[in-house]
């Protein structure tokens, strides 16, 4: 018997575009920034969002992090301490670490992901991870449902060895038409479209700036497809797995 439970929900995924999300103040980096919340937890705390930094922004200083803080540069440029990052720059600060002062001379928009889990920093590591260019990370070709996804590129940007949570960059080639039917996952899955087009089904087109949340144990992906290809930023709150039913039996990849 599989260690994974059966799904508990069907077709409850949430898809929104950034233009449909109202912004609100965001003070983690310092006063003067705003966030379009992508997802909030049940207690109202931010899980993920698009944070806008105005030109000339200088943060209030180094920040002790009680939670994992991840920052992906979507547009513009930022400084993280003495390091300058443009599109594709990535920063992850483990629990117990310090986030260097964030600034932006040009103005920028960044994807911020906050991990509120309770695990300690992996192996006591509290050093900040800075990746100047995520596209330089060595990619792997995923295998889903026993199928090698030729033309795909998956890059793991960050992984919490304590919880299994991770953040990935996924490039999907033009003309992709799905991996074999609806699926679900044992963890929360969040996806932000950075470039191109993608659709999890025939009624939910996504483009650059679209966000998709697939809740834990919810069946989705009824007709995944893309015309021109896309680049996605994905993050999960635990060990990700691709699960589906065929003939009433659980099939895991």
For the segment 17-56, what is each residue's pLDDT rounded down to a tens digit?
999 999 999 999 999 999 999 999 999 999 999 999 999 9
Residues 6+ away with beta carbon under 8 Å from 122:
94, 160, 161, 162
Q: Is 7 exposed, middle or buried (0-12, 13-18, 19+ CB in 10 A)?
A: buried
pLDDT digits (tens, 9 = 90+) for 76-121: 999 999 999 999 999 999 988 999 999 999 999 999 999 976 544 4
Mean pLDDT of 181-207: 95
- The pLDDT assigned to 4 comes to 72
Domains and CATH numbers, the chain: 9-16+136-252 (2.60.120.10), 22-133 (2.60.120.10)
Give dist(CA 199, CA 5) in Å, integer.
Answer: 26
Q: How many CB atoms lie within 10 A of CB 27?
A: 10
| Separation between Cα atoms, residue 14 and residue 4, nearest integer Å | 23
State what percent of residues in the chain have pLDDT above 90: 77
Q: What is the mean pLDDT of the chain?
A: 91
Which stretches within 94-150 are classed as H helix?
none
Give backbone dihedrals phi and psi of 19, rounded to 5 degrees, phi first. Answer: -70, -15
- Asked if pLDDT for residue 126 goes beyond 70, the answer is no
Q: What percent of the chain has pLDDT over 70?
A: 91
Indicate whether 123 pLDDT > 60. Answer: no
Q: What is the pLDDT of residue 162?
A: 84
Bigger pLDDT: 247 vs 178: 178
Q: In the prediction, which pLDDT does 246 show?
A: 60
């Amino acid at each position: 018997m599989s260690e994974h439970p059966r799904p508990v929900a069907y077709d409850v995924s949430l898809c929104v575009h950034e233009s449909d999300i109202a912004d609100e103040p965001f003070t983690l980096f310092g006063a003067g920034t705003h966030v379009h919340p992508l997802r909030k937890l049940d207690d109202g705390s931010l899980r993920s969002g698009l944070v806008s930094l105005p030109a000339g922004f200088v943060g209030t200083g180094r920040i002790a992090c009680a939670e994992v803080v991840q920052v992906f540069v979507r547009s513009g440029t930022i400084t993280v301490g003495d390091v300058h990052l443009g599109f594709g720059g990535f920063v992850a600060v483990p629990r117990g670490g310090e986030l260097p002062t964030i600034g932006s001379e040009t103005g920028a928009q960044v994807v911020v992901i906050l991990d509120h889990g309770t695990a300690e920093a992996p192996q006591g590591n509290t050093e900040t991870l800075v990746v100047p260019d995520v596209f330089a990370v060595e990619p792997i070709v995923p295998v889903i449902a026993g199928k090698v996804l030729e033309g795909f590129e998956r890059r793991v940007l960050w992984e919490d060895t304590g919880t299994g949570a991770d953040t990935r960059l996924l490039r999907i080639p033009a003309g992709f038409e799905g991996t074999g039917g609806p699926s679900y996952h044992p963890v929360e899955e969040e996806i932000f479209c950075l470039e191109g087009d993608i659709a999890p089904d025939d009624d939910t087109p996504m483009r650059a700036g679209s966000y998709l949340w697939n809740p834990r144990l919810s069946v989705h992906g009824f007709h995944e497809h893309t015309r021109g290809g896309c680049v996605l930023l994905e993050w999960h709150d635990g060990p990700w797995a691709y699960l589906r039913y065929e003939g009433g039996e659980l099939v895991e990849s």
